[in-house]
């Protein structure tokens, strides 16, 4: 199982982590955050281990960096409309594929449009918009590179078993496709997925796709990506900012609303969660024995605490700390051969995390907000108990 950095804003952090710190197996390059000439100038070795996500999710996006790519629908048409694009879909596909092949990315990604609603003609729309034009142009190019089809879904789509079967039948009908690049908008209010039905449907769909002998690259993963190691997927992702650890189309839409920056958080692998930095300091200062139990140090986190000043969420050190530790967790799971043993190891991690949360609660630490409390862990535990059985 490969680990890709899901790059976003400040994607130099991802490149530094991969190239300088040896974290992960490559980058998923984000054009909404990276001008075309910058991507063209990336190191050839970096690109050969990475992939380019064309990000056609909102084809009329006004984002400046997206519109630096001549194949992006809004740029190509100088103003996207669905009817006009149908006549230009093959030109867009040709230019996009040429770009990916010329830059020698690890494999090719066919883009797709994001549909918020479960439209009855979802498959027909995707086929006309990008899938069939891209496969046609890929055939003409004689490329030998593997092809992944982007599949952006919503939780409601996954929860509808009939819709899921239709999508599965569709994606498995293309012999040219090696796998899917799966993105799901779970539409969860918290930072973790805390809905069993949604997470169960996600895991079930991945299992169904793998059962049909298609690979799955799971994009925009948060810590739940660790669960996917038991599903024999092609890859999962790690990300810095929250919008690289959960899929939505917000970043593709111009919005002048002033957003308040989030509180800085630091990743605790033993808790399988991020917690507020201020809470971490409280545990370290007031409960040193508990701190020794829950804290996993890295050179990055130690540098923060040694400095003694509260970090800002825009500083890279918090994320380099996360990259190193979650990568270690993935590598540990990778060494375990059987699915059953991986599930047991994950169940053990969940059990240990729940016990540590109990210790934190008994210590009287009350500064945890809902996102820090590990409310996703009972969901994980229930799911892991089901993962060895047929999923519905």
Do 169 and 244 lie in one domain? The reply is: yes
Do 197 and 323 lie in one domain? The reply is: no
Which domain range does residue 43 map to? 2-252
List, as own/partner pairs, every contact residues 6-9 make where C-beta atoms lie below 8 angstroms and the sequence separation is at least 24, other chains included.
Answer: 6/30, 6/219, 6/220, 6/221, 6/237, 6/238, 6/239, 6/244, 6/245, 7/33, 7/34, 7/239, 7/244, 8/33, 8/239, 8/240, 8/241, 8/243, 8/244, 8/251, 9/33, 9/241
Stretch 318-336: mean pLDDT, rounded?
97
pLDDT > 70? residue 280? yes
- Yes or no: say if 51 and 4 are a contact pair by the CB < 8 Å rule: yes
Establish if 84 belongs to a structural domain: yes
Stretch 5-9: mean pLDDT, rounded?
96
Residues 268-307 as b/e (b if ≥16 CB within 10 A, e otherwise) read bbbbbbbbbbebbbbbeeebeebeeebbeebebbeebbee
Establish if 391 belongs to a structural domain: no
What confidence score (pLDDT) does residue 254 get?
A: 75
| pLDDT > 90 fraction of the chain, expressed in percent and rounded | 92
Q: Degrees (nearest 5) of the Cα angle 190, 195, 201?
A: 130
CATH number of the domain where residue 46 is located: 3.20.20
Do 326 and 197 lie in one domain? The reply is: no
The token pair that represents 316 in the structure block: 């890279």
Report how many domains make up the chain.
2
- The domain boundary residue, chosen from 252, 287, 320: 252
Do 83 and 227 lie in one domain? The reply is: yes
Q: Give 369's pLDDT tier (boundaries 50, 70, 90).
A: confident
Do 122 and 84 lie in one domain? The reply is: yes
What confidence score (pLDDT) does residue 392 get?
A: 46
pLDDT > 70? residue 102? yes
The token pair that represents 202 in the structure block: 């996600």
Do 200 and 331 lie in one domain? The reply is: no
Q: Which candidate, 295, 265, 288, 309, places its Cα nearest to that of 356?
A: 295
Do 157 and 9 lie in one domain? The reply is: yes
pLDDT > 80? residue 293? yes
The token pair that represents 348 in the structure block: 């053990």
Establish if 260 belongs to a structural domain: no
- The domain boundary residue, chosen from 228, 252, 276: 252
Q: Mind listing the pLDDT tens digit for each residue in 145-199?
A: 999 999 999 999 999 999 999 999 999 999 999 999 999 999 999 999 999 999 9
Establish if 313 belongs to a structural domain: yes
pLDDT > 90? residue 232? yes
| pLDDT > 70 fraction of the chain, expressed in percent and rounded | 97
Dihedral over Cα of 98, 26, 229, 323: its sign: negative
Which of the two residues, 255 and 304, has the higher pLDDT score?
Answer: 304
Do 235 and 348 lie in one domain? The reply is: no
State how far the Cα of 61 lies from the Cα of 229, in Å rounded to an integer: 34
Do 281 and 205 lie in one domain? The reply is: no
Establish if 258 belongs to a structural domain: no
pLDDT > 70? residue 106? yes
């Amino acid at each position: 199982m490969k680990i890709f950095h899901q790059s976003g804003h400040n994607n130099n952090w991802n490149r530094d982590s991969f190239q300088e710190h040896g974290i992960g197996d490559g980058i998923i390059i984000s054009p909404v955050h990276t001008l075309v000439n910058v991507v063209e100038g990336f190191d050839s070795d970096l690109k050969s281990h990475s992939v380019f996500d064309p990000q056609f999710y909102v084809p009329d996006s006004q984002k400046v960096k997206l519109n630096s790519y001549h194949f992006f629908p809004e740029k190509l048409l100088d103003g996207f409309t669905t009817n006009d694009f149908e006549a230009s879909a093959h030109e867009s596909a040709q230019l996009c594929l040429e770009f990916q092949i010329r830059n020698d990315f690890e494999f090719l990604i066919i883009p797709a449009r994001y549909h918020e609603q479960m439209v009855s003609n979802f498959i027909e729309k995707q086929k006309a918009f990008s899938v069939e034009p891209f496969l046609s142009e890929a055939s003409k190019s004689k490329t030998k590179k593997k092809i992944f089809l982007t599949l952006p879904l919503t939780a409601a789509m996954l929860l509808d078993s009939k819709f899921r079967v239709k999508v599965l039948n569709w994606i498995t009908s293309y012999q040219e496709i090696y796998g899917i690049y799966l993105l799901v908008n779970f539409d969860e209010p918290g930072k973790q997925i805390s809905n069993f039905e949604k997470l169960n449907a996600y895991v079930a769909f991945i299992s169904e796709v793998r059962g049909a002998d298609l690979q799955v690259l799971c994009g925009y993963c948060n810590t739940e990506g660790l669960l996917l190691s038991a599903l024999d997927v092609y890859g999962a992702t790690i990300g810095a900012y929250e919008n690289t650890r959960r899929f939505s189309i917000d970043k593709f839409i111009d919005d002048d609303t002033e957003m308040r920056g989030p509180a800085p958080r630091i990743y605790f692998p033993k808790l399988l969660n991020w917690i507020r930095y201020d809470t971490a300091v409280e545990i370290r200062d007031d409960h040193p024995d508990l701190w020794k139990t829950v804290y996993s140090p890295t050179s990055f986190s130690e540098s923060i605490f040694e400095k003694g000043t509260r970090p800002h969420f825009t500083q890279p050190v918090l994320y380099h700390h996360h990259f190193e530790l979650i990568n270690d967790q993935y590598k540990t799971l990778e060494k375990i051969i059987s699915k059953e043993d991986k599930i047991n190891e994950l169940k053990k991690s969940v059990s240990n995390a729940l016990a540590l949360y109990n210790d934190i609660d008994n210590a009287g630490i009350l500064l945890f907000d809902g996102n820090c409390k590990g409310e996703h862990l009972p969901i994980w535990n229930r799911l892991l108990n089901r993962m060895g059985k047929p999923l519905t």
